[in-house]
Amino acid sequence: MKRHKFPCKCPSRRKILILCVTGWLIALLKLLHVERHFLSSKGIYLVEPFLSTSSYVRNRYSYLRNEFQYEINCSSVFEQDPHEIGKSLEIRRKEIIDLSDEDVVAMTSACHVYRSLRKYHLKPVSPEEESFPIAYSLVVHKDAVMVERLIHSLYSHQNIYCIHYDQKAAKNFPLRSNFELVVELKKLGGGNMLETVKPSSSKTERFTYHYELMKVPYEYVQMPVKTNISKDPPPHNIEVFVGSAYFVLSREFIQYTLKSSLAKDFFEWSRDTYSPDEHFWATLVRVPGVPGEVPRSAQDITDLQSKTRLVKWNYLEEHLYPPCTGTHLRSVCIYGAAELRWLLKYGHWFANKFDSKVDPVLVKCLAEKLAEQQKEWVYLSSDKYFLHINSMNASL
C-alpha cells in the first residue's frame, strides 16, 4: 500500500493556530490574576485587613495578607498630628477595599463565629445604662458593612433596634458612646430633642397641596409629585411646623401619639403631603399639653440647636463651621479624618455623612474613640458606684 504524503499547503495556518492558542492562554492567565496585578500596581488599602484576608468572608484577598498596611494612631489623628493626617490623605489616593454586602452575609452566617469576631457580648455596660434602655429606629439604604458598624457602635444589650430599609436613607454615625447618650437623655428630663421651625413659603407648599406618587424621569422609583389640588386645613386647628426626619422623642410622647385621636387624625391628613416625616413630629411636639411640649410661641429650634444630627452644608462652611476635609455629595460634606476632633467636640449626638470608601481612617478612628469613651465612662461609673455603696455601708 502506498503512503500518500499530504504536505501542508498553508504553513501560516499552523503558526496562526499556535499564536491563537498561546494568546488565549496568556489572556486566561491574565484574567485569573488581573485583580492582583491591577491592585498591586495601583496600591491598595484594606479597611478590614484581618477579615478581608480571612476565610470568614466571600471575597477573600489572602494573597495580600503580608502586604504593607498603614498603622494608624487614632489618638494622633484626634490631636490633628500633621504626620498622621498625612497618612490618611495617602490612603485616600489608593484603591480602598471594604467588605462587600456578600462578605457581611458570609461573616454573619454563623452566629457563634460572628459573636467571636465582633464581641458584641463583651461590650461594657453600666448600671445607669441597664436601667435606661434606648429604642432606636435606624433608616438604612446600602453598604451593609457601614450598617453593621453603626449597630456595633450603638449596641448595648438592653437597647432595642428597629431597622427600616429606605432607598433615600443617609449614612449616619454616632458621636457619643451609649453611656454618654444615656446621660444626655436624662438631662432632657422627659423632654424631646428635635428641629421644629415655622415653614418658609416653599416648605408650606409641601402640605397645602395634594401630592401623588408618579414615575418621573431619571428616578428608579415613584416620587411624590405636586398636583393643583389644594388640601383642606389640618384637623383640630393644628399649626404646622417643619423639621427633619431625625429626632429624639421621650417614651411618654410616643405613647401619647399612639393613643391620641388628634395625632391619628393628623397622621391621616399627612398621607398625601410631601415628606410628612419632616413635619409630622415637628408639629406634634408643638401641640399644647403633649409630653415634652415645645410651646407654639417658643422660638424656632434649628438643626444646629437640636443636637440630634450634625450635617455640614458646603454653602455654610467657613461661616458656621470649618471647611469639609473629605468631599461633597449633593452639597453635604462626607467627612475626612482631619474633622475627627471637631466632630467629637461640637456637641451633637450623631452626624451625617460618612463613607469608608472616601475616608476609611475617620470611620475607623471614630469607632475606636467611641469604644474608648464607653470603656472609660463605665469604669469611672463603677468606681463612683462602689464608692457610693462603701460610704453607705460605712455609715450603717
Catalytic center residues: 278
Rounded CA-CA distance 135/137 in Å is: 7
Q: Under the phi-then-psi rule, with left for phi > 0, alpha for psi from -120 to 50, and beta for the rest, what region is 347?
A: left
Contact 114, 63 (CB under 8 A): no
56 by Cβ neighbours in 10 Å (0-12 / 13-18 / 19+) ranks as buried
| Start-to-end C-alpha separation, the chain | 123
Contact 365, 175 (CB under 8 A): no
The H or E element that residue 345 is part of is helix 340-346
Rounded CA-CA distance 391/396 in Å is: 9
> How far lies 289's CA from each of 154, 195, 259, 281, 301, in Å?
32, 19, 14, 15, 19
Bond prior to 168 in cis (omega within 30° of 0): no
